[in-house]
Amino acid sequence: MSMPVKEPVLAGGFTRRGACPALSAPMKTGDGLLVRLNPVAGGLSPDALTGLCEAALAHGNGIIEVTARGSIQIRGLSEHSAVPFAEAVTELGIAVHTGVPVQTGVLAGLDPTEVTDPTRLVESLRTAIAGAGLEGRLGPKVSVVVDGGGRTALDEVAADVRLTAVSGGWRVAIAGHAQTARPLAVAGSDDLARDRAITLLSGIAEMGRRARGRDLNDEELGAEPSSAEYGSRPSAPRTLIGNFDLRDGRLALGIGLPFGQTFADVLKTFCEAAISLGIEDIGPAPGRSLVAICESVKQMQELRERARMLGFITGADDPRCAISACPGAPDCASGHIEARKMATAIAREYRHLFDGSLHMHLSGCAKGCAHPAPSDITLVGTEGGMALVLNGTARDEAVAFADHDGAGRAFASMAALLAAQRKPREPTAQVLARIEPAEILEAFRKHGS
């Protein structure tokens, strides 16, 4: 058995990149220390979220993010301000998850389109993980997703163990997001799904704290023959942005943070509007969004309009929904380009490209943190400029390069080619697939230096 690996710790007790930046272990990045919060209750009261905004302004740089997994991140803390920030969170009564993340949809138990209500299985699994003593034996990145189906927006959330509700039980899969995780079997009940997940997690723990689900071998996985045929994934929206009816007659309003980021004073203004309308619950959600539970259509419509005026994404057709972007330089020490600044300009200037068929990823470096899955177009920051990847990830081999000065012209040239070749009502992704790669690369290179 491998011995557990102790996580390296920086001066001041702050863990290095690779660990999860919890309240007690902020992570160093380009703009200071970063803390990630996962509220136990899922949602927060607007009053508590207002207090969190005030704490971010007092102790950080005022930037708040919601991650692709639906966690809240506070940026720009220092070694001196991290402790009072943690104390402020405690005083606000915001309980946060610790230990192995077991994630489900923000509308779990409320969504009428769910295949199965996952809340019982989630609680049972959390109890079983604690009872098996796994919390101290698994690495900080090991996670579980329990997807009840419906509007969960969990398809792109990668996990070491995935439990997905299907007809006849829970499909058990390992290591990946909805499309890439390897299916193992279908467990016919909540208890069987819990036990299978505990077995898999125990196998990961046996290999030490650096191990992940992908490290399990076929014997340890215990895959059943033809298990890939078991239980197709129910179709679900990629985003929670919009408004949705709930089981109990209430409505959910989902709004997006542009590229996952906003300023604390802007979010505070939104929370104050929610308070004035009588809204009591706002939850961070996967896909870098927030979901407010509304009592009436009028309440929902008024809050949506306030969100729109504040610059939040209120419609799934917003071009910013089709672009993933990390903070980039200078906020991230690894970033070579101002990824979010570039993404904002592209969404504004090339709105016509984003018709719902195309996804673009702007990554400050080759790690591709904002979107690990493949995209139609990926632009990656390098020391010398920007690399172009087609139908791949930021880690894949680039097909063309542009220097820093020519990056904007290079993308403009490629966008002009797509626009010129597009037939009436033809989806942009289809245009991209139809044009010869050499022609696309030539357009990009032409003005890239």
Q: Is residue 405 included in any domain, yes or no?
A: yes
Same domain, yes or no, for 341 and 435? yes
Same domain, yes or no, for 341 and 428? yes
Kindly list the distances between the CA atom of residue 253 and the CA atoms of 256, 285, 289, 290, 303, in Å, as whole numbers in the listed order: 10, 11, 10, 8, 8
pTM value is: 0.82
Segment 102-141, tens digit of pLDDT: 999 889 999 999 999 999 999 999 999 999 999 889 988 8
Question: Of 209, 229, 249, which closes a domain?
Answer: 229
Same domain, yes or no, for 325 and 304? no
Same domain, yes or no, for 442 and 324? yes
| Contacts of 425 by beta carbon, 8 Å cutoff, 6+ apart | none
The Cα–Cα gap between 368 and 69 comes to 15
Q: Is residue 162 included in any domain, yes or no?
A: yes
Q: What is the arrangement of strands in the sheet containing 182-187, beginning at the earlier edge strand?
A: 102-103, 144-147, 159-166, 169-176, 182-187
Same domain, yes or no, for 442 and 323? yes
Q: Is residue 153 included in any domain, yes or no?
A: yes
Segment 245-296, tens digit of pLDDT: 999 999 999 999 999 999 999 999 999 999 999 999 999 998 899 999 999 9
Q: Is residue 314 included in any domain, yes or no?
A: no
Residue 31: CATH number of its domain: 3.90.480.10
Structural domain boundaries enclosing 165: 108-229
Q: Is residue 223 included in any domain, yes or no?
A: yes
Q: What is the arrangement of strands in the sheet containing 63-66, beginning at the earlier edge strand?
A: 27-29, 32-37, 72-77, 63-66, 261-263
The Cα–Cα gap between 194 and 212 comes to 18
For the chain, what is the domain count? 3
Same domain, yes or no, for 331 and 442? yes
Question: Of 207, 229, 251, which closes a domain?
Answer: 229
Q: Is residue 129 included in any domain, yes or no?
A: yes
Question: Of 229, 264, 299, which closes a domain?
Answer: 229
Same domain, yes or no, for 258 and 351? no
Same domain, yes or no, for 180 and 153? yes
Mean pLDDT to the nearest integer, 184-212: 94
CA 219, 222, 224, 228 torsion-angle sign: negative
pLDDT of residue 129: 95
Q: Is residue 117 included in any domain, yes or no?
A: yes
More confident site: 148 or 228: 148
Residue 332: CATH number of its domain: 3.30.413.10
pLDDT of residue 16: 36
pLDDT of residue 327: 86
Same domain, yes or no, for 331 and 248? no
CA 415, 417, 421, 424 torsion-angle sign: positive
Amino acid of residue 411: F
